Structures are given as C-alpha cells and as structure tokens.
Amino acid sequence: MPGCAWSSPALLLLPLANALGGGTITETLIGLAAVVLINAFALAWLTLARRPRHYRWLSLASAAFDVTATSLVLLVLATNHLPAGLNSLIVWCGYLLAIVMTALRSDGRITLFAGALAVLQYGLLVLVLTMSATSPEELISSDYGAVTASTQLQRLLLLVFATFITAMLVYRMQKLVEMSGTDGLTNLPNRTWLLHRMPRIFEAARVDGSSLTVALIDLDHFKHINDEIGHRAGDRALRHVVMMLRQKTPPGEWLVRLGGEEFVLVLRKPMGAAWERVEQIRRLVAERPFEPGGNADPIQLTFSAGLASYPHEGADLSSLLHRANDRLQQAKREGRNRVIARDG
C-alpha cells in the first residue's frame, strides 16, 4: 500500500479541475463523493497494513477496490449522462492509475490481477451501457463526443498494454533484485536476497503454521587461516565449507552468505531438530579438513553457531538475527566449535 498515502488525497484535484474547467455541478459532486469514498478505504487499507498481523488478501483487495471504484464512478456518471460514463477520459484513467500503482507492491501477480479485472469490468460496462441505449442519439454528446465501438476497443487494448508493460517492469525489477542478491565467490544468496526474501518465508510459515529456525554460523579463526595460506587458498577453503553446508541443506531450506566467513541457515524445523541438523553439519566440517595442495598440511576448519526460533523468539529477521548473534557470541566465549540454542 505504499502509494495510498499520497495518491488518494491527490485525487481531490480531479473534481476541482472539473469544476474550474466548466464541468457540471452534478459531475463535480459525483467526483467529490468518489474521492471521499476512496480516501476512506485507503485509510482502512493503511490501518490494516500497519497491524502486526499479516493479511495475505490485503494487496488483492486494495487493487480490486481501486479498479472497482473507477468502474462505479463511470457507472454513476452514465446514469446521469450515458456518454459521460463511456467517454470520460479523466475517470477512465483511474484504471491506468490502479494498474500502474500495483508496481509499488513488487508483485507481478497483483498487476496482472488488476489489469484483468479492469479489462473485464470496463468491457462489461461498455456492453451493458451501449445495449441500454434506446437510440443512437443517446450515445452522442456535445461535451463528450460520440460513443463508438472503435474508441472503446482502443481503450480496452490500452488497458491490456498498460497491464503487460507494468507487469514486465515488475518482473524485471524482481529479476534484478535476485541477480544482485547472489554472492560472487560462493554463488550463495547474499544479505540483499535475505532481506528481500525473508518476509515471504515468514508469511509462508504463518500460513502453514510451520516452525522456522535461523542459524547464524561463523567460521572459527578464519582470518588467521587467510593470513597463513593466503586469500586465494582462503577462498577455496571457504568454498570447501560451503560445499559441505550445501550437502546438508535440502530444498525448502536456505543457506545465505552474509559476508566474510559468516552465514545464515534458515531451516524449516523447530529448535530441537534444527540444533541436531546444525550440530551434524558442525561435526562434518570438523571431520573433513581442507587440503590447500602442494606440500601444505591439511587444515581443520570449525565453526560456531547460534540459533533462534520463529515466531517464539522473534517475529522479524532483525530480532531473530540479534538473538542468534547473542548465542553465537556465547559459543565463542565457551571455546568455539559448538552450536548454542539456549541462552546461557
């Protein structure tokens, strides 16, 4: 709902412009009533969006309302003067605004839904109103011009074009976010990806009623390893650890590189089962030393980890990472190479 706060009050300019441009009092009053209704619903949407509880249907409902409000205003205009309902360009642009505004929700499905609904509603409106005309003269107006099939078809096509162009832009932006969210060294998702994706993961967990555990993993004394064998070999050592982490990360769970030697593992498991998984990975990493090659001796790699569970210990990524980091620091204080799931 990012655009409601400014776009709805701005709609007050439309009936004002209509009055100053010589529009009828009836049309101006219809416009004012529509703006008041739209602002009332916009406040309701914003109130729901700011509540801690997440409403999955909110984006679809608000988009449907934006489109339907435009259709209703055109219908009311048509009851007063039939050509006004079909040839009012200013009100018809409400469809375009409703479609374009869905781009702010960063979900192409919402855009396609709004566009399809706009085409359906306006198409039905055109069909019903033209069939209701008892004579061709009812479709002609000195203010709005003649209602013609070609003009209405062009408007429907414009709605289709606006929908697909907006959807393409949204999907392109989503792709760019995904591309920018990949770590170049390990090909793992990075912090950008995590911040962008976690709200959806939390939403899915809420809907399914499933548990999530976030594990914050930090390789022990990795800076010293880099100093001893060099950064190139250090990078290979990092990829060696990532390979083992990936082996134990099934589909539906996510391994993310935050930066340096720090990782986040998001597991679809309650705390107990998640601890067992991370502890198993910790033993695996410790049992398979990294071999730098040449005459260098194998290097044992270990990590420390702190766990936090959703939603019991945090309802958002920031609070979960904060709790997991506290336990990670506890693991380091207790000697490293261990996994902590409870506060000490």
**Partners of 318 in the β-ladder:** none
Say if CB 88 and CB 74 are below 8 A apart: yes
> Is 261 a known active-site residue?
yes
Q: Of these residues, 261, 276, 279, 291, which one is catalytic?
A: 261
Pairing between β-strand 254-259 and β-strand 262-267 as defined by DSSP bridges: antiparallel
Tokens of 270: 């309650």
Triad 162, 166, 170: Cα angle to 5°: 170
Q: What's the rounded Cα separation, in Å, for the pair 55 and 67?
A: 20
The DSSP annotation for 177-235 comes to HHHHTB-TTT--BBHHHHHHHHHHHHHHHHHHT--EEEEEEEETTHHHHHHHH-HHHHH
Cα separation of the two ends of the chain: 42
By annotation, the residues acting in catalysis are 261
